[in-house]
Amino acid sequence: MRSSILIGAACAALSATCASADIRITNDPGGIIDQHVQRFAGLRDSGERVIIDGRCMSSCTLVLGMLPPDRVCVTRRAVLGFHAAWVPGANGQPIRSESGTSAMWSIYPAHIRRWIANNGGLTPKMLMLRGSELTSMVRTCR
């Protein structure tokens, strides 16, 4: 009886560990750069893996430069969206943030920067990376 309780407890502990080992991104619209940097720094330091399994827009894409490449993967549903950083103006309209855009640019790995540059650069227009083009640059989840 005691051994079955211990085995059950061990299985529960292993399940919790395994379940928390992968973070799944399914619909992240982006947001404040510093918040994503803090989140991804925490994930990097924790050793957790990230599965991009849907939309990862704007500052969410910083995960590509903040975690080691072997700890980030994409599914067939993954879509990454890149654009220049902005801040709200006096009337709430977006105003390009050069410092935010530079910060994002410096975090992206070289192959992602090349793709962005070859597709028009970081501008207000969203650049979408998906499908075989994406899987040629970010490893596919097994």
pLDDT tens-place string over residues 86-102: 999 999 899 999 999 99
pLDDT tens-place string over residues 14-54: 333 334 569 999 999 999 999 999 999 999 999 999 999 99
* Mean pLDDT, residues 57-85 taken together: 97
Q: pLDDT > 90: what percent of the chain?
A: 84
| Confidence band of 142 (pLDDT split at 50, 70, 90) | confident
Q: How far is it, in rounded angstroms, from Cα 62 to Cα 17? A: 25
Q: How far is it, in rounded angstroms, from Cα 107 to Cα 81? A: 15
| Confidence band of 2 (pLDDT split at 50, 70, 90) | very low
The pair of three-digit structure tokens given for residue 58, joined into one six-digit string: 């704007």
Chain mean pLDDT for the chain = 88
- Print the SS3 string covering 92-108: CCEEECHHHHHHHHHHC
* Mean pLDDT, residues 124-142 taken together: 97
Q: Is the full-model pTM beyond 0.85?
A: no
pLDDT value, residue 63: 98
